[in-house]
């Protein structure tokens, strides 16, 4: 690919890359009748990278996986569960996470330092280790999507994305799945993301690429402004496509791989935002003419994160005053006399004052499953993007009884 060419990304239906298998089963960890336990593994050790919650009360499995990946950026398997977060569980929670890691390593006959652990669910509750021990032998190497079902909590459906790209003349698959519906406001929420690929990529470079990709995808979504103790996004690259290993960002195929990975991360992030607890609409905010990308992203996220904006969009109310107020709260450069705002392509504000528009027409357009807000700050050339969802009565209903 030359410098002027756009990477070719082929979006396909859910397909695992070469050498990856999974399973998800029901072992009764919670009160909901659903799959709640599973695993993901590669036939061979894979380069691995991760990003993790910045919440100070980082859950035991999250911390363990971070420490494990940081040894030499390698993983071969991840054990997962929903219903119980194994967070704020003290020494017992740490011991349980280590036990899970050891049990799966023994079952697969691999090194303990090749196993990650991921949990999501109720904070403060302890894992039922007897159920986990009994469930492990029931996991089978399958090629369906059962593991993506096993990590769900209040989600309405799994989040999945898959693309293929060509690297070194080889077809490479990049496949991801995620869960997340509430407690979503990453900076790396009960949010978990897993991406697998058969590309051959150096582990340190994979970490750099993932971190950069997460900054403009997962870290640009919000549902309710709350960050969880268990956030994690992990990527495994097992090299079974047999392309020449990508070792540096200057390598010929790096841009294509990075674009494919970012596409998958972005699709998963948007699906999480759209599936926010009680949500009926996806909100996308695009900021242009910002002084720099950091400020553009901050403004975009402030708009989609505003409870007043979210409530107005739930009510199909083109109240642009909510939007401009959210913009003005951000510590970012903007020409306060020349800000522009549009909703679903319909101009609402120019030079920071209202334009004449048909309120009924705009309101009708806001009944769509996706509402797009465009903002110009008139202060530079940088752009930013963020995603969120509307705030509904059902969000309160779900979270008023989450524990009970």
Residues annotated in a binding site: 153, 179, 190, 277, 399, 404
CB of 332 closer than 8 Å to CB of 290: yes
End-to-end CA distance of the chain: 55
- How far apart, in whole angstroms, are the C-alpha atoms of residue 235 and residue 212? 13
Mark out the alpha helices in 109-223 (DSSP H runs).
129-135, 146-150, 203-215
Under 8 Å between Cβ of 65 and 50: yes
CA–CA gap between residue 99 and residue 325 (Å, rounded): 50
Catalytic residue among 190, 222, 285, 288: 190
Orientation angle between helical segments 203-215 and 254-274, nearest 10 degrees: 40
190 assigned to active site: yes
Find out whether 344 and 369 touch, Cβ atoms under 8 Å: no
E-strand ranges in 120-213 read: 159-167, 170-179, 192-197
What is the C-alpha separation between 339 and 327, in angstroms, rounded? 10
Distance CA 27, CA 154 (A): 18
**For residue 311, what are the contacts with CB-CB under 8 A and spacing of at least 6?**
390, 391
DSSP 8-state secondary structure symbol assigned to residue 16: P
CA angle 371, 374, 378 (to 5 degrees): 170
* Rounded distance between C-alpha atoms, residue 325 and residue 328, angstroms: 5
Distance from C-alpha of 404 to C-alpha of 260, rounded to nearest angstrom: 42
Residue ranges for the known binding site for substrate are 153, 179, 190, 277, 399, 404
Which contacts of 243-248 are long-range, i.e. CB under 8 A and separated by 24 or more positions?
Answer: 243/167, 243/168, 243/169, 243/170, 243/172, 243/199, 243/200, 244/167, 244/168, 244/200, 245/200, 245/201, 245/202, 246/167, 246/199, 246/200, 246/201, 246/202, 246/205, 247/202, 247/205, 248/202, 248/205
List active site positions. Answer: 190
């Amino acid at each position: 690919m030359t410098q002027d060419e756009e990477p070719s990304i082929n979006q396909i239906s859910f397909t695992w890359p070469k050498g990856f298998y999974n399973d998800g089963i029901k072992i009764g960890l919670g009160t909901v009748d659903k799959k709640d336990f599973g695993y993901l593994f590669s036939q061979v050790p894979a380069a691995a990278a991760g990003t993790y919650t910045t919440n100070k009360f980082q859950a035991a499995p999250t911390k363990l996986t971070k420490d494990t990946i940081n040894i030499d950026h390698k993983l071969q398997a991840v054990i997962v569960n929903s219903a119980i977060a194994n967070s704020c569980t003290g020494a017992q929670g740490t011991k349980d996470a280590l036990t899970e890691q050891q049990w799966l390593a023994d079952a697969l006959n691999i090194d303990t330092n090749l196993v990650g652990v991921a949990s999501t669910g109720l904070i403060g509750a302890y894992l039922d280790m007897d159920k986990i021990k009994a469930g492990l032998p029931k996991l089978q190497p399958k090629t369906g999507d059962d593991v993506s079902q096993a990590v769900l909590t209040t989600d309405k459906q799994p989040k999945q994305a898959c693309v293929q790209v060509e690297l070194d003349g080889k077809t490479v698959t990049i496949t991801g799945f995620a869960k997340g519906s509430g407690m979503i406001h990453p900076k790396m929420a009960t949010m978990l993301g897993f991406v697998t690929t058969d590309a051959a990529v150096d582990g340190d470079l994979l970490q750099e690429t993932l971190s950069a990709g997460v900054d403009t995808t997962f870290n640009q979504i919000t549902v309710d402004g709350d960050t969880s103790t268990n956030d994690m996004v992990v990527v495994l690259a097992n090299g079974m496509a047999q392309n020449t290993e990508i070792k540096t960002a200057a390598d010929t195929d790096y841009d294509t791989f990075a674009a494919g990975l970012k596409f998958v991360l972005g699709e998963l992030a948007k699906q999480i935002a759209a599936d926010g607890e009680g949500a009926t609409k996806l909100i996308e905010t695009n900021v242009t003419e910002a002084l720099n990308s950091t400020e553009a992203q901050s403004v975009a996220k402030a708009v989609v994160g505003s409870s007043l904006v979210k409530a107005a969009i739930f009510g199909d109310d083109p109240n642009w005053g909510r939007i401009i107020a959210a913009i003005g709260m951000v510590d970012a450069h903007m020409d306060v006399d020349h800000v522009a705002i549009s909703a679903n392509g319909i101009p609402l504000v120019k030079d920071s004052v209202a334009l004449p528009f048909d309120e009924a027409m705009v309101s009708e357009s806001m009944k769509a499953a996706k509402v797009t807000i465009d903002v110009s700050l008139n202060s530079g050339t940088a752009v930013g993007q963020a995603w969120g969802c509307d705030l509904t009565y059902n969000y309160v209903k779900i979270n008023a009884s989450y524990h009970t």
